């Protein structure tokens, strides 16, 4: 397991390695899950924009502990344009939904309004 966790970023972006990361997030030890979530948070922009990495980001939000879910959700909502981009992708839709559920209150309202404003702007300028 140590060899697998030595390059989380690469495996998360790999067509088959991302399934290993998702499996560890669901069934791994707390320490393994924590290491994956920390690596995902540190490389959020690259993973969230990658087709395979995005599924690992979603798995972190789905299977993570509430503290890590909240931290990751805040990081996603604070990254300019990331929620909008993710909301139009296969695995990103689930991640955005979880982000909105996790960030209850002012953070959720801000995240929703940011996505809504950008969607409206794109709709009216098209």
Which residues, 6+ apart, have CB-to-CB distance to 24 below 8 Å?
1, 4, 5, 32, 33, 36
Q: What is the pLDDT of residue 105?
A: 57
The per-residue pLDDT for range 23-50, each reduced to its tens digit, is 999 999 999 999 999 999 999 999 999 9
pLDDT for res 123: 46
pLDDT in tens, 46-102: 999 999 999 999 999 999 999 999 999 999 999 999 999 999 998 889 999 999 999
Q: Are 81 and 118 in contact (CB under 8 A)?
A: yes
- Is residue 41 within 8 A of residue 61, CB to CB? The reply is no
Q: Domain with 88 in it: what CATH number?
A: 1.25.10.10
Mean pLDDT, rounded, for 17-27 = 96
How many domains in the chain? 1
Inform me whether the pLDDT recorded for 110 exceeds 80. no
In terms of residue numbers, what domain contains 94? Answer: 2-125
- Report the pLDDT value the prediction gives residue 106, as an integer from 0 to 100: 52
Structural contact between residues 18 and 9, judged by C-beta atoms closer than 8 angstroms? no
């Amino acid at each position: 397991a140590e060899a697998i966790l030595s390059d989380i970023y690469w495996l998360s972006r790999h067509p088959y390695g991302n399934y290993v990361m998702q499996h560890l997030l669901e069934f791994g030890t707390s320490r393994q899950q924590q290491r994956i979530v920390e690596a995902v948070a540190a490389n959020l922009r690259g993973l969230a924009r990658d087709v395979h990495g995005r599924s690992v980001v979603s798995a972190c939000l789905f299977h993570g502990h509430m503290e890590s879910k909240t931290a990751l959700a805040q990081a996603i909502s604070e990254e300019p344009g990331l929620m909008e981009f993710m909301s139009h992708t296969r695995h990103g839709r689930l991640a955005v939904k979880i982000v909105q559920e996790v960030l209850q209150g002012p953070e959720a309202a801000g995240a929703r309004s940011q996505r809504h404003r950008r969607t409206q702007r794109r709709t009216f300028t098209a």
